[in-house]
Structure formats: C-alpha cells, structure tokens
Amino acid sequence: MMDAVDLTFVDETVGRVGTTADKVLEILQAIQSHYGYLPREALERVCETTEITPASIAGISTFYDQFRHSPAGKHIIRVCVGTACHVKGAGQVYDAFHRHLKIATGQDTDPAGLFTVEKVACLGCCTLAPAVQIGEITYGHVAPDKVAGVLEDFLRHQEAPAARKRAAASVAADSEGELRIGLGSCCIARGSGKLNEALNRALQETGINAAVKHVGCVGMCHQTPLLEVVLPSRGTFLYARVEPEDAKPILLRHFKVQGLRKKVSNTVSHLLDDIMVKEDGDPVMRYAIGVRDKPVADFLAKQKHIATEYCGVIDPVDIDEYVSKGGFEALEKCTRQLDPEEIIGEIERSGLRGRGGAGFPAHLKWAAVHRRPDETKYVVCNGDEGDPGAFMDRMLMESYPYRIIEGLAIAARVVGAKVGYFYIRAEYPLAIKRMTTAIEQCRARGLVGPDVSGQGFSLELKIVAGAGAFVCGEETALLASIMGQRGMPRLRPPYPAQKGLWGKPTLINNVETYALVPWIIRNGGEAFAQSGTRTSKGTKVFALAGKVARGGLIEVPMGISIREIVEEIGGGIGSGLRFKGVQVGGPSGGCVPAKLGHISVDYESLTAAGAIMGSGGLVVLDESDCMVDIARYFLEFTQDQSCGKCTFCRVGTRRMLDILERLCGGEGRKGDIEELQHLALMVKQSSLCGLGKTAPNPVLSTIEHFRDEYEAHILKRCPAGKCRALIRYSVTDECIGCTLCAQRCPVDAIAMRPYEKHEIDTDACIRCDTCRKVCPENAIRVE
Amino acid sequence: MVRLTIDDRPVEAPDGATILDAARQLGIEIPTMCFMEGCSPSTSCMLCVVSLAPSGKMVPACATAAEEGMQVQNDCPQVRAARVMALELLLSDHAGDCMGPCEIGCPAKMDIPEMIRRIAAGDTASAIAVIKEDIALPAVLGRICPAPCEKVCRRNQLDEAVSICLLKRFAADADLASAAPYVPPRSTAKKKRVAIVGAGPAGLSAAYYLARRGYDCTIFDDRPKPGGALRDGVGQDRLPHNVLDKEIEQVLRLGVALRPNTRIGRDESLDALCDAHDAVFVAIGKTTPEAAAELGLKAAGKGVAVDGATYQTDRPKVFAGGDVIRNRQLAVRSAADGKEAAEAIDQYLCGQPVTGPEKPFNTRIGQLEASEVEAFKHCASTEPRQAPPQVHAGFEKASAIAEALRCLHCDCRKPDDCKLRMYSRQFEVRAARYKGPRRSFRQETGHPEVIYESGKCIDCGLCIQIAAAEGERLGLAFIGRGFNVRVAAPFDKTITEALAVAARRCAKACPTGALALKQPEG
C-alpha cells in the first residue's frame, strides 16, 4: 500500500502559479515533476483549491503524453522513435531495453522499479539517431547490444559525486584568444558539457588566458562536439568530435604556457602527437578539421544564414553580443521610424511565407490582425515542433532566442498586441531555459515590459510549456492548450486572426518565421526576396538527418534541389548504399523518390511531388528503408497523436494503419492497396483539421512512387529487408566462426561454435539485426 | 443576410446562420448525429459533411457559417460516399448489438430481453404485452419451441443460456390463468375482409395480427377443430389440448371468425374466396406441388411459390406462408410467417407498396472478448440455469424471476431512436466493412435512471456539454486521446456519481444507445 500523498506541494504550487482555469497545464507539470506522476489525491486537491473542474483536469491530464497516472521507476528512459531514429533501428533499441530490464509484456517499468521505458515522439537529436534520454542525459547512436553499457554508464554517472561547478572563465580583456564550444542539445548529448568542464580545468591548470565562449548550434551536428580555437593573429582552428581528454593537448598546441609550465608544454605536445597517431582510421578527421577542408566547405558552401545568422559565432544568451551584431536594430527601427503599414509592406516585399508548414503569406496574416479594431490582441510563437525528424525550431530557440523575441516583438508592435506567448514543447528543456533567460535579459534592458524602448508600447512575454501532443502544433489546438484546455483543434473559420486566444484576434507564427523578420527589416524585403524562387522567397531551415553522411541543421536558399542538399551539403548516403528518396514534411509530408531529386525545394514543387514543405524535417532514406514501413511508421504516429475529435481522423487513420500493419506483418491481401487509397483519399478530404487532412500524405505519396513495394508486400516479400515478419536471417559461407554474433545475440539464437560456420535458429531469432551489424565478414544475409 | 445555394436551390439565410440552418429553411434534411440545438457544435461525427463547389472542399454543415455566394452540394455522390464512410468507420469501432442475439435468432424477432426485464421486475402482466407484440401463441410455443434463441444466447459464453422459452411460457400461462387475459389494443375497423385458409400456427398468427389491425378475418379449416399441426402433430404430454384451446380462444376473442370443416379447393374454390374477400392468406400446412396446383397456385420445390419478402403468390391478392411454402415443421417459423404476411397484407390493403416487413439494420459484436464477458456478468445473477420442478412443467414465479435475473441484457436500450442505427439503415451501410481493433463492450448499470455502455459511444461529447451546463459537480470528460478517447467520469468515478442531476437529459441527447434511459419514456 502506498503512503498517503503529502499535498503540501500542491498547495504551494497553486499558491505560486494561480487558481484560474488556464493554469492547469503549469500546475500539472509541477505536480508531475515533483511526484513523478499525477497522484489522484493531488488532482482532487487542485480541484478543491482552484477554478479547475474535475472534468477539465481529467480531460487534460489524459490528453497529453507527458503525464503519467501511475508511479514510474526511479529513472525514465525515453527512447526516441522519431523518423531518423526509426530508420536507424529505434524499435529494436526499445525492445532491447525491455528485454534487458526484464520488463513484463504490457508493463513499462522493471521489477525493481528502477527504470521506466517510454517511447518519445522525437527528442530532436536526429543526427544522433537512435537517441535515448535517461534522466537529463542523452545517449546517441544506441544499438540493441549497447543498452547494457548505456545503463551502466548512466548508473555510474548517478553514483559519482556531483562535479564541482567551476566558474567559467570570464571574457578577459587581455585574452589571447577564444575557445568556442557548441552547447546545443546535440552537442551536449555528444559530450560538449564534459568538454566544457575539461577545458575550464585545463585553463586553470595551465594558466592559459583564453576565453571560453558558448555558442549555439553550429549546424554540423555530425561532427559534434566541436571546439573552435580563435586566435586573433593566427586564424581559426576547428576541432571536431573532441573528447574531454583532448582539451588540454589542444590548448597547449595553440597557446603559450606562462612561466615554469613551459616545460610541461613540450611533454604534452608529444602526448598530442601520440593521440593523433595511435587512433585508428582517420585521425585528422577525428580531431582537427579546417573550415577549408572539403567536407566542411561543402557543408557550408550552399547555405545561406539568415534565421541562423552568426551561426557558431554568437553566444545564445549573451544579449550584448546580440546587440553588437545588429540585434534589436530592427525592433528599434520598427518602433521609431516605421508605422505598422510600412512594416507590413516590407514583409510583403520580402515574400515571406509562414515557415510552419502551410506557407501562408505572412503579411496577410499580420494585416488581418492589424486591421481588427479590438483593444486586446495577442501574438503567439508556435514552438511546438512535434514532427518526428525535425529539430529546426529547437536549434533556433536554443541558439538564437533574442532573434525570435525580436521578431515577435515587431509583430506585436504591428498588430497592436500587448501580450505574447511562446508555446514550446516540454521535450525541449534547453530551449525553454534559453528562451526564459533571454526574456529576462530583454526585460532587464527594457526591450520588453511596460514601455518598450521608451516608445510607449507595452509588451509582456510568457512561456507556455507544451505537454506532449503533436496536434498542438495545429494553431487552434495550440491556442486551446494555452487557455488550459485539451489540445483539440476546431473548425476554421473563424481563424485565430478573427477569434483566437480568449476570443481575441491572435497572430500566430512559427519560430522560424519570427526569426527571419529582424533580418528582413534590417536588410529590406527586397534583399530577402533575392533568394528563392518566384513563389517561395528567402531561405528555409532544414533538419537534415537519416542516412546522410553529414547531418545537421542547414539553412538553404529556396529553390535549391533536393539532390544538392543530399549530395553536396549532406555528402550523400553515409553507408554507401543507394539513395532512395527523402521524406520531407514528417507525418504531414511525403516521400520524394531519388528520381525526382532534381526538383526544386519550394512550396509548390514539393506539394506537386506529393510531399509538403512542412516545418523542415528532411530525412534521407537509402535502399535498406522499406517504404511501406515508412508509411506504417507515420500512420502509427498520426494515429497515436490524433486528438480523437472527428470520425475520419480518429477511426479512419486507425483503419489505414490496420491495413499497413497487415502488409508489414505478412498478412496483406489482394485489394488492400485500393482499400488503403480509398480510405486515404476520404480521410484527407473530410477530416476536420490539418492533422487529419495531411495524415494520409505519407501513404498516398509512397503508393504513388513506390507501388511495387506495396505489391511485393502483398506477395509476402519486403524488398528492403526491413519488415520483421517477412524476412529471415541466415549465415553465409563467408562466416569465419569468430562467434561475435553468437556472443551478442540477445536471445541465444546462434550457437557458440568457434571456427565453424554459424547457424541462426530462425524460430528463436527476433530480427534485431545485431548479428549483421557486428559481423566483421559481412556474412549475415537478410532475405 | 447572405445568399447561397444548396443543391442548386437558392436560399437567403440570416447572418451567422450555418449551412445546416440554411438547409432547414429549404426543407433539405442534412443528417446529423453529434449536433444538438442549444449545444455548441462538436464537429465530431462528420455525418453532416457537405461539399462546397467549385473547390470540392468538404465541411461539416452544422458548424460552417453560410456565406454569400456559397454553392453547397448536399446530394451528390461525393457527399454520400463520405457519409457512408463516416458511418462505417463509426460502426467499425462500435461494441454493441442493436438487438440481442436472442432476438435476431428468434424467427418471430420477439423482444426477448424486454420480456425478461419485465418478468425480473415481477411485472408478469406487462411481460405478456411484450410477448404478444410478436408471438400470438406463446403458451403453445413455450411448450414446443426448440428455442433457437437460446442457442445464440450470450450467457452460453458464461455458463448456460437463459431459459427463454420457459420464461415465455411462464408469462403466457400466468396470463391465461388470470381473470382477464391480455387483449391487445385494436385499430379501428378497416371494413376489409381477409380469408385465412388453415388454422395452424401460421393461419392463427396471421389472423391475430390482421384482426389487431382492424381487418375482418375468417379462418377456414378442413378439420373440425382449429390448431392444425399443433393439434395433430404434437403429443398431449408436451402440448395439452386445453392449453391450445385456451390460446386459440384468445385469437378468436379479437373477433376472428372460424369456419371449420371447410376445405378450400373442394368445399369452396379459391376463386370464390377471392371474390368474397379483399385478400386471402393460404396457410394449409405441409403440402405437395400437386396440391398447390390443385388450389390454382404456382408451385415451387417445397410447396406454393411466393415472393420471399412479401409472401405474395403468383395470384393477385393471394398470399401464403407457413409450412405450405417452406415445410420446415418449425411452429415458431410458421407463426413468424403469419405475422409477417399480415404486415404485407396490410400494406397491400392500404394501397401501399407491398414490401413486407422492414429488415432491421443490425450491428453485432460477434464473439465477446474475455473482459467483455466479465463486463456483462456484473449486471446479471450468478445463479445457474433454473430447472422446472419436473419434465414438461413450467416455472413458478420465484424461479421465473430468478431465471430472468440471469439475463445479461446485451440488447440495446435504444433500438428505435438510435441515430447511428437509423442512418446506417438509410445509407445502406455495411456494418462490418472495416475490421480491426475496436473498443470493448462495457456496461454501467448502477445509476437509477440511465445505463451507460461506452462501447456504443461515438465520442460526440454532448453529454459532457450538458453535464457541465447543468452544473454537475463531477460531470463527464473525454479521457485519453485519439482512437482510445472515451467519455467517462473523472477519477474513475461512476456514472452515478458523475450524473447526479443531468442523467436524463444526457441520455435523451445521446445519439446512440451509449447513454440510455432504463425506463423508456411514454
């Protein structure tokens, strides 16, 4: 029997947060983080002490994925099942955790109550796929046979006494140089936090006088952690994939050690050489790369940084630096020189279209809210980036919070809003933290508050943390969520510009849209419109991930071809397999096959190809990816994320998924493809909101471009060798009997027979793919 | 005011009116389930989708504002297809039977669960009224029927079927033994004459239901006493003649005339009968094609040839039913034929198209999952099947009630005012078009006024709105999300706690049988 729940915390939270109905999410989040779940008593207590009704709290607390209603294990393991992770085997990783922790079927917590394993829609660390988050730590490239190691590492980390915080070296006036270290989520997950500590330690030990500078995402997520050494006199040196123990040798290579320590310098120099030669493979690639090196040059050459201006240079939360690089000039201009009509005119000239997905012209939305006579209006920033396989908005919020705030403040000035909301996914704690810090800094500078820049207009900014519901990316659902309701979309019209938050006109734009605004105001709409195509102007930020050699955050001019992105920026397929296509636009998008790689990246061309621009997730697929499985994957996602309001989406997507599961499970029947198409067209046509109307896209586009794969599945064959029910593993004559596969097989389906050809017991085999991955001779066949 | 067209008919609607409002002005009916006047539109069921020309955009009429120049299509293949799919999708996630398997299994489609509820409540007198809606000779059938209803009873999945046949016999015997046996309400006299040939189960049944409808009926039989095969083909140990006589007496009491010892085809010709009557129903029992030909009727394999739905023979105004058309030797089937033919004859005599009885639309759960059997168990007694004191005996009142309490009540409480069922029939949908995971059958019977079966819920949320508007302290909520969303009380509380004041209104608003009144009104 559980102990009675101590409700003091609930009362304190209510006292701190407030008692109005719209506070429900914040209160629930606090309760969940305090108790680890939502105890019934706590919820009832909230209803007694606030305006929140039992019906409302029950509805809301069961709507969002974030909330648990039963106690969880001591630590939560979140296995990312985003698109990039899915294509790299996240399902097998999830199963492996379950197996390793001996979690019973239908349960999510191990018998000891130490770990709870959950799936999470997307951690937004797509370049680390498959990614797993345990507590605060993110692990990248997790394979089924590595889960034991990951858990061990995590527990070790827990046991270690908390590392003493060292004061970061402040920017000294007489600094001999600067050490730039990326602290985006991906970088931290790959160890840039530890590297940061090691650098500070090394600086203290050596007495080197250099400033450590934190910069946002550099975009080269495939190379993280990155360390850039900037020496005023001698240029810039970029080190990739730096380990904490490399910090000192790198410092000693570039900086002179004061006084007595000179001797040490020589010794350590040798040490550095040691490391560089003893490393197998390509030591230069692992450590020092120059911007002039070809891969880096290629990665950067085709890009154009507007939303990501000063990428890898600017400290995300340093407001002075932002100001020193032209920050808030645009806001200043908008408050002092331009009237709202002029600003709207500039936006119109830029041709800016909403970057959230649908591409609605920004100036029309702005003008619509501006025109409304209402006294009260709102501006909202949609930072609920829920698409699996997308991490653009996270990177922008983590790296350029001031730019987004500036863009939103300009919009508020134009439409006459006094309150602005940032709705940010709870899965992005770092983004929330940085945005919070940035808003505080702005407030301290008078850039937000009762009298912005002394210009007599007031602007209050608030952050609302989402609670795990993809559908809240839909604008009417997002507004409902801000108001403390279930995130249910509603019929439009009325549009938010007419009736938004609390019935008032509300401007809602995506993170990237706002991030582009300051540049447009500073450089003029025409300068922005110089990039891009006739209908799609400027740049677009993409999260490039999947089977590409160099994944990361990229910003490219509209009109660039898919092939240029994949092959030139991304360096082609990492595995050496054939490029099959790209999935653009996530669950609302579609797959563009390799043969259409020449098409231009703009709103119209992508839609014509059966995909959509979407928010910018771009997952590259190779020939080992099964398109039926991809469609199934997305339908599983949308089906799970449907709000459940309208019949077509709630039940229709489920029935589509039934057919796809049947196909992937080897139970496809003649007529399934036609039935699937029929359902898909009707769901697309008759669903109430954008989620349902676009949910069939992944199915329709894969049927259109890869129909032969669907037909093969009806004949119980998976050409890509992906669908577990349709494939079997066997050992070829190449086997040298090294027993590696037998050792790693999690279900003992391979008998240990040294120096003999191994055999796989097909009945016992769970198709986890571990044997194929570990085999040094390529002797595992999948068919 | 805005001007628009619906199915090319112009209409002027006030500002703020919806497409649905505008359609009503024109008298165009747009089907709705989740919409209710006075509640805000749920836009959930999507049955009211209409298409907007020329874009082809599909919108829910209940919530879409009528706009100037709109061209709304309500009656077109695209809209129809969408509505059919909406219904078929909802039915694919529907765990509930429109009718209990017993009712469907009963050839006479008797409302068995309702009869059982009345017996369980000790109201034997009203149980007979339920029975006689569909079965004219319940005391007889209660003794000889092989009870196809019991073979499909859901209680079989638990232990043994409810003893339906004996319960029917109990109610019928009690009625016959009473001072004033039940007489059904009779329609006003129609001044039309129907001749019924044969006083067996089919003929007696047809006479009973035609007489109730106000027709002047005469039964012709070649034997001295009525009953046909019931008298000659069943031993008195099973069916004592006094029971048969008493029950036939109840038929004749309705004003039905009996002409015994009259053989049609010998003593009187069919032609003459036809001349003297407005319709003729031939129910002479087991026959041969030769005998049929002798009567002057077209023959088929098993006797007289009829249209399967309407019981019409090849000869105008002559109908036929019972063993004369099928030779099943199943009294309840013959009785059902008599009742159904009576309906067809009524249509014929009223000058309506003769279609026979309407085929009801039914969704069926099929085999129950283990958890569903458990859900059913909660509202039924756990006693084993009651046995009568000796062979060929019936129940005493106490044992009848005990047996009635074993019924799982898997029928729907809103068989006639469920919108889902009504529109499913209207749009001729296929209930089992889509198969896949579906919600489970659940039943909450604790509330004094209403019964809640979440398996039948279509997630429209009307009850949630009403409960909130009526100021329920607890109320109802959508629990969960997506395909798994359910309407339920917060904090796992019961419907009794959730609906302290709004239960009746919620049940009346519910478009399906999910929330239903325990005692139908009126």
Q: Write down the pLDDT at residue A614.
A: 83
- A642, A651, A688 ranked by CB distance to B92: nearest: A651
Would you say residue A647 has pLDDT above 60? yes
* pLDDT tier, A258 (very low <50, low <70, confident <90, very high otherwise): low
Distance from CA of A497 to the nearest CA of B (A): 17
B483 vs A contacts (CB less than 8 Å): 639, 642, 644, 650-651, 653-654
CB contact under 8 A, B474 and A54: yes
Cβ-nearest to B86 among A486, A648, A658:
A648
Chain B partners within 8 Å of A635 (Cβ): none
pLDDT tens per residue across span B11-24: 999 999 999 999 99
Structure tokens at A731: 């050992």
Q: Is the pLDDT of residue A330 over 70?
A: yes
Cα B118 to Cα B79, B129, B410, B432: the distances in Å are 44, 10, 15, 32
Q: Do A686 and B82 touch (CB under 8 A)?
A: yes
Which numeric CATH code is attached to A75-159?
Answer: 3.40.30.10
Cα B456 from Cα B84, distance rounded (Å): 18
CATH number of B439-517: 3.30.70.20
Instruction: Reduce the DSSP state of residue A543 to 3 states and report it.
Output: strand
- What pLDDT score was predicted for residue A163? 40
**Predicted confidence (pLDDT) per residue in A686-718, tens digit:** 999 999 999 999 999 999 999 999 999 999 999
Residue A266 has pLDDT above 60, yes or no: no
Domain residue ranges in chain B = 2-75, 101-181+365-404, 193-349, 439-517
- Name the one residue in this structure whose structure tokens are 């400033």: A211
Higher pLDDT, A385 or B319: B319
CA atoms within 13 A on the CB side of A35: 27
**SS3 per-residue string spanning B270-314:** HHHHHHHCCEEEECCCCCCHHHHHHHCCCEECCEECCCCCCCECC
State the Cα–Cα distance between residues B462 and B36, nearest whole angstrom.
8
Interface touch B85/A648, C-beta < 8 Å? yes
Which residues in chain B are contacts of A688 at CB distance < 8 A?
43, 46, 60
Rounded to whole angstroms, the Cα distance separating A759 from A735 reads 10
Q: How far apart are CA B60 and CA B51, in angstroms?
A: 9
Fold equal for A539-625 and A728-783: no
How many residues comprise chain A? 783
Average the pLDDT over each of A18-32, A571-585, B40-54 and give the range with the smallest value: A571-585
CA distance A334 to A408: 12
- Please list every residue in chain A whose beta carbon sits closer than 8 Å to the beta carbon of residue B480: 62-63, 644
User: Cβ(A540)–Cβ(A437) under 8 Å?
Assistant: no
Greatest Cα pair distance in chain A: 83
CB under 8 Å to B123, separation ≥6 — which residues? none
Question: Could B86 and A53 be called an inter-chain contact, meaning their C-beta atoms sit closer than 8 Å?
Answer: no
Residue A171 pLDDT greater than 50, yes or no? no
Tens of pLDDT, residues B326-335: 988 899 999 9
d(CA B150, CA B163): 7
Q: pLDDT tier at A240 (50, 70, 90 boundaries)? A: confident
pLDDT band at A553 (very low <50, low <70, confident <90, very high): confident
Q: Report helix, strand or coil for A588.
A: helix
A728-783 is classed CATH 3.40.50.620: no
Any chain B CB within 8 A of the CB of A693?
A: no
A587: chain B residues, CB-CB within 8 Å? none
pLDDT of residue B266: 86
Place of tokens 């039905």: B256
What gap in Å lies between CA A386 and CA B351, rounded to an integer?
A: 64
Q: What is the mean pLDDT of residues B238-248?
A: 96
- Average pLDDT for residues B82-98, to the nearest whole number? 96
Going from the C-alpha of B359 to that of each of B136, B415, B422, B425, B453, the distances in angstroms are 21, 13, 12, 9, 25
CB atoms closer than 10 angstroms to residue B213: 21
Of A551, A533, A534, give the one whose Cα is nearest residue A542: A551
CA-based nearest distance A679→chain B, Å: 9
> Using an 8 Å Cβ cutoff, are B204 and B226 in contact?
yes
For residue A281, is pLDDT > 90? Answer: no
Please tell me which of A425-429, A649-653, B387-391 the model is most confident about, judged by mean pLDDT. Answer: A649-653
ipTM of this predicted complex?
0.87
- A681 in reach of chain B (CB within 8 A): no
The pLDDT tens digits for A299-311 are: 777 889 999 998 8
Find the angle CA(A75)-CA(A77)-CA(A83) to the nearest 5 degrees: 160
Looking at the structure, give the CATH architecture of the domain made up of residues B2-75: Roll (3.10)
Q: Which CATH class is domain A628-714?
A: mainly alpha
What is the mean pLDDT of the segment spanning A654-678? Answer: 96
Task: For chain B, report the end-to-end CA distance as a whole number of angstroms.
Answer: 41
Q: Give the domain ranges of chain A.
A: 8-61, 75-159, 178-301, 319-524, 539-625, 628-714, 728-783
Residue A272 has pLDDT above 50, yes or no: no
Is A682 in contact with B484 (Cβ distance < 8 A)? no
Among the partner residues A55, A491, A685, nearest to B464 by beta-carbon distance: A55
Nearest to A642 among B434, B435, B482 (CB): B482
The 10s digit of each residue's pLDDT in A439-492 is 999 999 999 998 887 777 899 999 999 998 999 999 999 999 999 999 999 999
pLDDT tier, A595 (very low <50, low <70, confident <90, very high otherwise): very high
Q: pLDDT category, A154, cuts 50, 70, 90?
A: confident
- Copy the structure tokens of residue A780: 């595992």
Does A486 contact B435 at a Cβ distance shorter than 8 Å? no
CA B488 from chain center: how many Å?
Answer: 29
pLDDT digits (tens, 9 = 90+) for B210-240: 999 999 999 999 999 999 999 999 999 999 9
Contact B476 A55 (CB under 8 A): yes
Q: Which chain A residues have a beta carbon less than 8 Å from that of B52?
A: none
The 10 Å Cβ neighbour count of residue A371 is: 11
Do B43 and A490 make contact, defined as CB atoms within 8 angstroms? yes
Whether residues A491 and B63 touch (CB distance < 8 A) is answered with yes
Closest-CA residue of A relative to B60 is: A688
A183 pLDDT more than 80? no
The residue written with tokens 């009307």 in the block is B462
Q: Does A19 touch chain B (CB under 8 A)?
A: no
Higher pLDDT, B421 or A228: B421
Asked if the Cβ–Cβ distance from A55 to B42 is below 8 Å, we say no
- The alpha carbon of residue B366 is apart from the nearest alpha carbon of chain A, in Å, by 19
Closest CA to A459 of A495, A532, A409: A409
Distance from CA of A562 to the nearest CA of B (A): 31
Residues B41-52, mean pLDDT to the nearest whole number = 97
Contacts of B92 in chain A (CB under 8 A): 651, 655
Q: What is the CATH number of domain A539-625?
A: 3.10.20.600
Tell me the Ramachandran region of residue A191: left when phi exceeds 0, alpha when psi lies from -120 to 50, beta otherwise. left
Q: CA gyration radius for chain A?
A: 27
Helices and strands, counts by H and E, chain A: 33, 20
pLDDT band at A284 (very low <50, low <70, confident <90, very high): very low
Identify which of B518, B351, B374, B361 has the alpha carbon closest to the alpha carbon of residue B442.
B374
| Per-residue pLDDT at A3 | 59
Q: A176 CB contacts (<8 Å, ≥6 apart)?
A: A208, A209, A210, A231, A232, A255, A256
pLDDT for B432 beyond 70: yes
Distance from CA of A521 to the nearest CA of B (A): 37
B477-513 pLDDT per residue, tens: 999 999 999 999 999 999 999 999 999 999 999 999 9
Per the CB < 8 A criterion, the answer to whether A556 and A599 are in contact is no
Q: Which of B64, B82, B436 sits opposite A491 (nearest CB)?
A: B64
- A365 vs A277: which has the higher pLDDT: A365
Query: CB–CB of B483 and A650 under 8 A?
Result: yes
DSSP structural state of residue A335: H
Taking the Cβ of residue A652 and every Cβ of chain B, the question of whether any pair is shorter than 8 Å is answered with yes
Q: Nearest CA to CA, how far is A206 from chain B (Å)?
A: 57
Q: Give B339→chain A minimum CA distance, Å.
A: 40
Task: Convert the pLDDT of each residue in A345-385 to its tens digit.
Answer: 999 999 999 998 789 999 999 999 999 999 999 999 999 98
CB A645 to CB B49 under 8 A? no
The answer to whether the beta carbons of residues A677 and A692 sit under 8 Å apart is no
Task: Specify whether the CB–CB gap between B334 and B322 falls below 8 A.
Answer: yes
User: Which of chain B's residues have a Cβ under 8 Å away from the Cβ of A647?
Assistant: 44-46, 86, 89-90, 458
Q: pLDDT per residue over A604-623, tens digit each?
A: 999 999 999 887 889 999 99
Q: Which two tokens stand for residue A402?
A: 């001031």
- Cα separation, A197 vs A319, in Å, equals 23
**Domain spanning B193-349 has what CATH number?**
3.50.50.60
**% of chain A exceeding 70 in pLDDT:** 91
d(CA B126, CA A254): 101
Token pair recorded at residue B312:
């019409």
Helix (H) or strand (E) holding B495: helix B495-498
pLDDT of residue A289: 44
Give the pLDDT of residue B374: 82
Question: Residue B58: which of A56, A655, A685 has the nearest Cβ?
Answer: A685
**Is the predicted pLDDT of residue A273 greater than 60, yes or no?**
no
Residues of B in contact with A639 (CB under 8 A): 482-483
Confidence of residue A234 (pLDDT cuts 50, 70, 90): low
Q: What is the distance in angstroms between the Cα of A629 and the nearest Cα belonging to chain B?
A: 19
| Closest chain B residue to the Cα of A691, Cα to Cα | B482
Cα(A357)–Cα(A625) distance, integer angstroms = 25
Contact between chains at B85 and A55 (C-beta distance less than 8 A): no
Q: Where are the alpha helices (DSSP H) in A599-696?
A: 603-608, 627-641, 647, 653-664, 672-686, 690-694
Q: Which residue has the higher pLDDT, A274 or A780?
A: A780
Among candidate residues A325, A261, A355, the one with its CA nearest the CA of residue A601? A355
Nearest to A53 among B436, B475, B483 (CB): B475
Instruction: Please tell me which of the candidates B46, B468, B488 has its beta carbon nearest to residue A686.
Output: B46
Q: Do B481 and A57 touch (CB under 8 A)?
A: no
CB spacing of A658 vs B437 below 8 angstroms = yes
CA–CA distance, A436 with A274 (Å, rounded to integer): 44
CATH architecture of A178-301: 3-Layer(aba) Sandwich (3.40)
Cβ of residue A70 closer than 8 Å to a chain B Cβ: no
Q: Is the pLDDT of residue A232 over 70?
A: no
In whole numbers, what is the pLDDT of chain A averaged over residues? 87
Determine the topology of domain A319-524 in CATH.
Rossmann fold (3.40.50)
* Closest CA of chain B from A766, distance in Å: 25
Query: Given CB atoms, is A491 within the 8 Å cutoff of chain B?
Result: yes
Q: Chain B residue closest to A652 (CA)?
A: B89
Alpha carbon B360 to chain centroid distance?
A: 7
